[in-house]
Amino acid sequence: MELHIAETREDLVERMARAAAEWIGAHPGSLVCLAAGDTPLPVYARLVALQAEGRVDLASVFYAGLDEWVGLGPADAGSCLQVMRDAFYEPAGIPADRRRVFDGLADPATECRAMERWIEAHGGIRFTLLGIGINGHVGFNEPGAPDGEGCLVVALDDITQTVGVKYFDRERTLQQGVTVGLRSLSKAEIVFLMATGERKADIVGRMLSGDPAVPASRLLPHPGLRIYLDREAAGRL
């Protein structure tokens, strides 16, 4: 495991974007799994800028979406699909046949099987960039949820539902999610986990202490885990 702590968020974003671009450049045709959420958006913006500078071809790899709120579709502001389409896939010019994201309006179990087939067809996830929820979830691998193989339909934790309101422009009642499971994520060679801001400091401290109630702690034994924190998120280490 590598722990990177940057003094500023800008520095953190720059380091992560350059490292991700370097990996992508060296692994054409590989499958990359990207989190939505607020935290990694500046990294995606920087990756798009690096591509514009001719430093990386982001369409040289394939993509799998990490998760989705069951019940939300492309037209819903705050769905993972909408966020990733507008923040990354479209500005990066990723062709539709190079990416697959969950459809939150489709039958969730069928969506999981379809995503598993996509992952398998592209040789498994080799690189993933994750955030962490304040309850320690990664994707929608919630506290107490089973560590199943493949992709999972999960009951959303109360904290996830409460914090989730920040993404939406109106009130939503969302109780389920679909996610790539921790075991599939753990098969990636490189796992970037990113946290910024003071509000992530407690959960990052608990994760790094190996708290078994924190789903992200299960990534700690992974040899390719690279944790990227700004100074605030590292405040309880």
Helix (H) or strand (E) holding 21: helix 9-26
Q: In a 3-state reduction of DSSP, which class is residue 130?
A: strand
Residue 214 contacts ligand F6R per CB under 6 A: no
Residue 43 contacts ligand F6R per CB under 6 A: no
Residue 39 contacts ligand F6R per CB under 6 A: yes
DSSP state letters, 49-89: HHHHTTS--GGGSEEEE-EEETT--TTSTT-HHHHHIIIII
User: Which has the closest alpha carbon to 32: 15, 19, 42?
Assistant: 19
Nearest residue to ligand F6R on Cβ basis: 131
Choice between 108 and 131, CB closer to ligand F6R: 131
Q: Are 67 and 177 in contact (CB under 8 A)?
A: yes
Considering only the stretches 16-24, 98-106, 113-121, 131-139, report the one whose residues sit in contact with ligand F6R under the rule CB under 6 A: 131-139
Helices (H) and strands (E) in the chain, counts: 7, 10
In the complex, least distance from residue 4 CB atom to ligand F6R, rounded to whole angstroms: 17
Residue 177 contacts ligand F6R per CB under 6 A: no
Number of residues forming the site for ligand F6R (CB under 6 A): 14
Binding mask 76-115 for ligand F6R (x = CB under 6 A): ----x-----------------------------------
202 is catalytic: no
141 is catalytic: no
In the complex, least distance from residue 82 CB atom to ligand F6R, rounded to whole angstroms: 12
135 is catalytic: yes
Q: Judging by beta carbons within 10 Å of its beta carbon (0-12, 13-18, 19+), is residue 96 exposed, middle or buried?
A: exposed
Residue 131 contacts ligand F6R per CB under 6 A: yes
In the complex, least distance from residue 80 CB atom to ligand F6R, rounded to whole angstroms: 5
Residue 138 contacts ligand F6R per CB under 6 A: yes
Task: Pick one of 78, 108, 136, 139: the residue that binds ligand F6R (CB under 6 A).
Answer: 139
Choice between 80 and 94, CB closer to ligand F6R: 80
The span from the CA of 101 to the CA of 107, in Å, is 14
Cα 120-2-81 angle, rounded to 5 deg: 40
Considering only the stretches 34-42, 44-52, 119-127, 220-228, report the one whose residues sit in contact with ligand F6R under the rule CB under 6 A: 34-42
What's phi and psi for 189, nearest 5 deg? -70, -40
67 is catalytic: yes
User: Which has the closest alpha carbon to 79: 185, 170, 180?
Assistant: 170
Tokens 């974003």, residue located: 13
Binding site for ligand F6R (CB under 6 A): 35-39, 66-67, 80, 131-133, 137-139
- The catalytic residue positions are 67, 135, 137, 142
